[in-house]
Amino acid sequence: MKEIKGAFPVLVTPMHEDETVNFNGLAENIEKFIQEGVAGLCINGSTGEFVSLTKEERFQAVETAVAQVKGRVPLIVGTAAETTADAIEYTRQAEKTGADAALLINSYYAHPTEEEIYAHFKAVAESVKIPVMIYNNPFTSGVDISTETLLKVGRDVPNITHIKESSGDIRKARDIARRGEGDIQVFCGSEELVLESFFVGATGWISVAGNIAPRLVTDIYESYQAGDLDQAWKLYDRLLPLCEFLEGSGKYVQIAKRSMELKGWAGGPCRKPRMPLTAEEDARLKELMASLETVKQS
């Protein structure tokens, strides 16, 4: 079993201009990320537009990613679905195909109760043997899962090993990391709270910014782990304006996809109803990417 630790870019799903999935582009991007030295990769997450993909497309994305990664880095697959039965199907397919772990959010339309969330996570995780990273993101799912529920399911279900904490409440990340030690590890899911999350015990980061600057997000984590806090802060300060743009724009998927195109990687449009960046947003992204490149060269 591979260690799930470090900065994991959560990848876009590249598309052609007609909004069909560019699976060759996905494979090419994966290879480039691996060459950049990332700790691991995550696909079929929110940044990958999982809710806009068909079941067959999601399955094929997993097959493409596993075949391209070839076991060189850990691969986490988003297996979220509105119903428990569908989430089990996605998670079993990920395991059967060769993924190293699954990323699972609660039902995102039903606004389930704490009891229902616990039962959902438990049923899905117990249907497989691979590690499961559960996901708390009230901004997309409409529910801020309680610390007690997260700790309980991490304690009760052996292969629920991680939580991606995206509530923006650093106290929750702290409490889960400290009180859940030995049962569940915290991954940062808030682009603006990366170092802060590491300081309170997070062991990794599912990173949207990692699409744009994979080497930089890796360096931030590695500098922190090495105890070079001055360097970690220096790198984080460099990345933070981009993180703030991603979190504040409401268009993190479009930003990530456009950034891939600007780098010469596979990106393409988002599926409607997502609209492309405005001219002003595009100019801001170019400015931020140019500033990262300028600092890197200096």
* pLDDT averaged over 10-residue windows placed end to end, the chain, 298 residues: 92 98 98 97 97 98 98 98 97 98 93 96 98 94 94 97 96 96 95 95 96 96 97 96 92 97 97 96 96 63
Q: Of 90, 135, 236, 252, which is the active-site residue?
A: 135
Can you give the pLDDT at residue 108?
A: 87
Please name which of 145, 79, 92 lies closest in space to residue 116, comparing C-alpha atoms: 145
108 given a catalytic annotation: no
Can you give the pLDDT at residue 151?
A: 97
pTM over 0.85: yes
Largest Cα–Cα separation, the chain: 53
Looking at residue 128, its amino acid is V
Can you give the pLDDT at residue 297?
A: 43
| Alpha-carbon span 124 to 114, nearest angstrom | 16
164 given a catalytic annotation: yes
Can you give the pLDDT at residue 298?
A: 42
Q: Of 90, 118, 164, 252, which is the active-site residue?
A: 164
Can you give the pLDDT at residue 294?
A: 57
| Alpha-carbon span 159 to 128, nearest angstrom | 8
Can you give the pLDDT at residue 28?
A: 98
